[in-house]
Amino acid sequence: PPPTLPSAYLQLVAMADAQPPPPLPPTVLLAQQHAAYAAHQKEKSELLSRAQSSIAATLSSLVPLLHAGVSSAHSSQATLSSLVTEIQALLSELQSLQAEQGSEEERIVEALKEVGDVDQWVGTLEAQVATVCQRIATLAATPVPVNGTPTVTPTSTVSPTTT
């Protein structure tokens, strides 16, 4: 009987199972290895491209933030510069005021010395006036004979006055 299609198929399958496949020529093996390497490289390239795109997108989203930060830093720097100028002016004014205060203190110390000298002079003058008044009182209380006759002792005495 002639072979039928299913039986022919079964015969071919049985023959394929019974015999090992013939070895591939070296050029075919090389072509397969090259194709596998190329597929692997393509996959790596696609991964790298996606990573680069992701990094570029992230960096692009950071640009407005960086611009805002730079603008803020510039504004802060300008503010700090004006504050430094103001502080330097105030420091100069403070040094000037301290110098004025120092000279004013010197004038006050000198004036206090003069007042102390005046107080000392007043004390000395008061003591001298008291001594003079005491001598006048003593002289007034002592009778002075005139031509050998006793004189009348005055009843009033001189006392020092202080102002």
Number of domains the chain is built from:
1
Instruction: Identify whether 120 is part of a domain.
Output: yes
Q: What is the pLDDT along the chain (163 residues), one digit of tens a residue?
A: 566 667 777 777 777 666 666 676 778 778 888 899 999 999 999 999 999 999 899 889 888 888 888 889 989 999 999 999 999 999 999 999 999 988 888 888 888 888 777 778 888 889 999 999 999 888 888 776 667 665 555 555 555 555 5
Q: Environment class of residue 136 by beta-carbon count within 10 Å: exposed (0-12), middle (13-18) or buried (19+)? A: middle
Distance CA(56)–CA(52), nearest Å, equals 6
The answer to whether residues 145 and 151 touch, using CB atoms and an 8 Å cutoff, is: yes
Identify the domain containing residue 102 by its residue range. 42-141
Q: Does residue 80 belong to any structural domain of this protein?
A: yes
Is residue 22 one of the residues assigned to a domain? no
